[in-house]
Structure 1
Amino acid sequence: MKKIVNDPERVVQDMIQGLVTAHPGSVKQLPDTTVITRKDAPVSGKVGLVSGGGSGHEPAHAGYVGKGMLDAAVAGEVFTSPTPDQVLEAIKAVDSGAGVLLIIKNYTGDVMNFEMAAEMAEAEGIQVEKVVVNDDVAVEDSSFTSGRRGIAGTVFVHKIAGAMAEKGGSLQEVKAVAEKVIRNVRSMGVATSPCTVPAAGKPSFELADDEMEVGIGIHGEPGIERKKVATADEIAGELTDKIFTDLDFANSDVAVMINGLGATPEMELYIVNGKVQAILADQGMNVYKTFVGEFMTSLEMAGCSVTLLKLDNQLKELLDAPSTAPAFYS
């Protein structure tokens, strides 16, 4: 295993220290926690937004902390849910009296621990609501989930719910727009090589040099098929076909995200994007906005995911609203 780390058991703490020192004017770490918050948290009168999950998906989730997006992110150990007490500290740190919305990816540990934290916060008099993101169309259940997994589409939930909170929306309004995004966003990914959790020291799964896993999860969970490596055009077609069978995007305005899983050159992501754009045009869709890059990774896994979000005028306005989050300027 070759990784640029100090102690494999301290990668999360070291990462947080490096992140906070890179952006000292916008974020801070709560002492003795793995919680990163906005520098100005809590923001008076504003609904607080908290997300998080296991580390290894950078820039998710701490990269999305900033004005116009999240108020706090909670980092668990690599591919491991943060504990309820850490999530509770995040909730308390961003609550200004207007309530807090938890944005949770649909993984069993995340859902359980965030829900426990919400109950503890409510016992302390904090109003908490939650949404669960389940945009992955590949599989219905996996080793990590009951129901569909939450993957890169979560970033659109962060952005749009964050914009609604920033403009003064109530807790119920922020939750409602987050749920609208969840209803209208779909994703699917493919991997061409595995990743290695630092503390484990070996790849989490194996792929032959000429193989790819279609429908892979962001923790290396199995997809729907292992097959010979295909061309970028074929991969784009397979991923979008599966998305189209799940939700009707015909003649819609859409936002597109071509997301790298950690070790895929931007050259390859742009090649995939070219074909995705052609497919969408053929289907009569209008691409309102495109995002190409690394937004929800899996350590050094090679591969990509495609996310489509069906837009209306409200979602367009909120997607366009300004953000100062380090990983998502707009």
Structure 2
Amino acid sequence: MKKLINSPDTVVTDALRGLAAAHPSLEVDVENRVISLAGGPRQGKVGLVSGGGSGHEPLHGGYVGYGMLDAAAPGEVYTSPVPDQILLATQRADAGAGVLHIVKNYTGDVLNFRMAAELAEDEDIRVVSVVTNDDAAVEDSTYTAGRRGVGGTVFVEKIAGAAAEGGADLDAVAAVATRVNERTRSFAIALHAGTVPAAGKPGFALEENEVELGVGIHGEPGRERGSMAPMNELIAYALDVIHADLPVSGNLLVMLNGQGATPLIELYGAFAEATAWIEGHGATVARSLVGNYITSLDQSGFSVTLTQLDDELLRLWDAPVSTPALRWGR
């Protein structure tokens, strides 16, 4: 294993120290592992909190800022943050109008966010939770009961964050977040597995001619092993799965996401194929992201995420945002 680290034991702490040094707009509590907006949220605004295991950067800490999250709780690599950590993030995001928890559908995350919400309610902080489950690959997995929450989480955080920034109340922000999740599907294919620093070896083994179809963001198995194929065939496979689950139509928000080790030259080529497939099925790419937005350490491959936009969701997506990982209109 060759990693740019000091020690497997300090990977998360070192990354948090670096995040603090690189982004003074953030308040990074390295000891308690909470990332929040410096100066706190605007009074009277609904707060947004998310979190999960580290190793998926820029998710979630890279999305703390104006128009998106107010706080994030990063756990150990591929491990849920603990309830006290999530509670502290919730307290720092609370500005008197309640807090929305955006939770990826993994068993540890769901349980720990639920416990944190109960603790927050004891402190008279109203919390509503929205669980993302956009993965079209499998119904149940190693880490979940039901579908996994993956790339669509980025869209939920951005669009719900814009609604909150615009003054919507907690129930309205939660409703927008739920709508985005319901209109979103994702699918991922891995070419090589990522390596967890503490393990020192890839999370799974693939032969040179194999790919994992429907892989999860922790390297969990997908629906099947397949044969390596040209890019257009892999993109078509992923989009066919999504289309069978939620027919592709209308104006779409599309993310062609790297998993940590795929170069942009390949991602842009893949996005060209995805655009051709989408247009060939009568839909339109109205907005897009291409790059690393939800990673799996140094796993290579891609995920594709589609959201069916309506006028309101498009307006909220276009609204200004200023975070380390997303920034426009401000």
Q: TM-score scaled by structure 1?
A: 0.98
String of CA shifts for 1:17-36, please: whole Å, max 9, x gaps.
10111011x10113631110
Preserved CA contact (<8 Å) 1:43 1:94: no
2:14 is aligned to 14
2:101 is aligned to 102
- Greater mean alpha carbon deviation, residues 255-264 or residues 283-292: 283-292
Q: Secondary structure at the match of 2:321?
A: coil
1:64-79 to structure 2, matched below 5 A, reads 64-79=63-78
Letter in 2 for 1:121: A
1:301 corresponds, among 280, 299, 302, to 299
2:36 is aligned to 37
1:3 is aligned to 3
Instruction: Give, in whole Å, the separation in 1 of the partners of 2:95 and 2:227.
Output: 53
Instruction: Give, in whole Å, the separation in 2 of the partners of 1:177 and 1:227.
Output: 37
- Greater mean alpha carbon deviation, residues 166-175 or residues 241-250: 241-250
Give the count of matched residue pairs: 328
1:170 is aligned to 169
Preserved CA contact (<8 Å) 2:33 2:73: yes
1:282 corresponds, among 276, 280, 285, to 280
The Cα of 1:248 is off from its aligned counterpart by 2.0
1:178-189 to structure 2, matched below 5 A, reads 178-189=177-188
1:234 is aligned to 233
The Cα of 1:43 is off from its aligned counterpart by 2.0
2:112 is aligned to 113
Q: Secondary structure at the match of 2:322?
A: coil
Instruction: Give, in whole Å, the separation in 2 of the partners of 1:45 and 1:96.
Output: 5
Instruction: Give, in whole Å, the separation in 2 of the partners of 1:228 and 1:244.
Output: 21
- Greater mean alpha carbon deviation, residues 199-208 or residues 211-220: 199-208
1:86-165 to structure 2, matched below 5 A, reads 86-165=85-164
Unpaired runs of 5+ residues, structure 2, are none
Cα RMSD, aligned residues only: 0.8
1:312 correspondence with 2:310: yes
String of CA shifts for 1:38-70, please: whole Å, max 9, x gaps.
112132110000001000001111000000000
Preserved CA contact (<8 Å) 1:253 1:288: yes
The Cα of 1:227 is off from its aligned counterpart by 1.6
**Runs of 4+ with deviation above 3 angstroms:** none
Instruction: Give, in whole Å, the separation in 1 of the partners of 2:189 and 2:175.
Output: 31
The Cα of 1:307 is off from its aligned counterpart by 0.4
Preserved CA contact (<8 Å) 1:103 1:158: yes
1:253 is aligned to 251
Identity within the alignment, %: 54
String of CA shifts for 1:134-158, please: whole Å, max 9, x gaps.
0100000000000000111100001
String of CA shifts for 1:170-205, please: whole Å, max 9, x gaps.
000100000010010000000000111111111111
Preserved CA contact (<8 Å) 2:19 2:28: no
Instruction: Give, in whole Å, the separation in 1 of the partners of 2:50 and 2:189.
Output: 25
Letter in 1 for 2:88: E
